[in-house]
Amino acid sequence: MAKEKEKRGGCFKTILAVLLFIVLGVAVLIGVNIQKLKADHYDLKISGDYDDFLSGMEKVKTDIVGDVSRLHLLNIYNGDYETDGSIPVEATLSVEEIYAILNEANKESGPLKNIQIKLAQGNRFEFYCMTNKSIMTVMNKHLGLTEEENPVLVKWIGKILHNKPVYGKGSFELVSSNYVEIRLETVRLGNRVLKEEAVRIIEGELRNLINKTASKENGIEIEELSVKNGALVFKGTLPAEIKGR
């Protein structure tokens, strides 16, 4: 029974998870101090356990084909997943369930760990996570770097980004059934506040990726996406099946 429940879930988490991942994309373009990046004052103190994982997966009716760990953030970021069909879903997910789903998917190969999202009235959010070594897979691709051609630079970037706290806050608004507006107010890498220009770049990339994921082609149409009593309310359709590559 528990095993069957593990195979249920969906790309509901992609809308949430991409938010946490894109914020790292421009950090290496900003002058940083390694010690300041280690400073951590923004842990949201949100956690979830395996029961939260199972209850969250029960609510999100998409069938996961194969292992949920194949839907980690690197695969979501790179589009390395397939969807099939569409199914109606009405779900209210607690922050503990969101935490459990995201961290179960990313605990083996994901670029982020201890992923937390706090929700508040007015569709406001805060997020927090710690970077992991596999973040370099995406950064190298994003910057066009290879370890063979740029060993010193790759090592330097890896040192900056590995095991660092990331915090940010903002808000979202459902504009149409396949478009979610995202507004970021601030992003911190360690104790360093990223510059306004960097935040706007992150915001734009995040908006593009979320709305590419939340597409009709992926079986997604959103009637409601909102925050009520600190939980995320979703009404619409999600893919009947999803499979990570």
> Mind listing the pLDDT tens digit for each residue in 164-176?
898 999 999 999 9
The candidate with the shortest Cα–Cα distance to 129, out of 110, 156, 109, is 110
Q: Looking at residue 216, what DSSP letter applies?
A: G
**Structural domain count, the chain:** 1
| Distances, alpha carbon 118 to alpha carbons 25, 75, 99, 124, 167, in Å | 22, 24, 10, 8, 11
Name the band, by pLDDT with cuts 50, 70 and 90, for residue 62.
Answer: confident
Given a contact cutoff of 8 angstroms between Cβ atoms, the answer to whether 228 and 51 are in contact is no
pLDDT band at 55 (very low <50, low <70, confident <90, very high): very high
Helix, strand, coil % in the chain, rounded to nearest 5:
40, 30, 30
At residue 119, φ and ψ (nearest 5 deg) are -115, 145
Structure tokens that stand for 222 in this block: 């959103």
> Using CA atoms, how far apart are residues 216 and 177, in angstroms rounded to an integer?
9
- What's the mean per-residue pLDDT of the chain? 82
**Bridge partner list, 242:** 64, 83
Q: How confident is the model at residue 28 (pLDDT cuts 50, 70, 90)?
A: very low
Predicted confidence at residue 133, as pLDDT, reads 73
Residue whose C-alpha is closest to residue 198's, from 206, 125, 190 = 206
Which structural domain, as residue segments, surrounds residue 166? 2-244
The model's pTM: 0.79
73-116 pLDDT, tens digit per residue, is 888 878 899 999 999 999 999 999 999 999 999 988 888 899 99
CA 21 to chain CA mean position, Å: 5
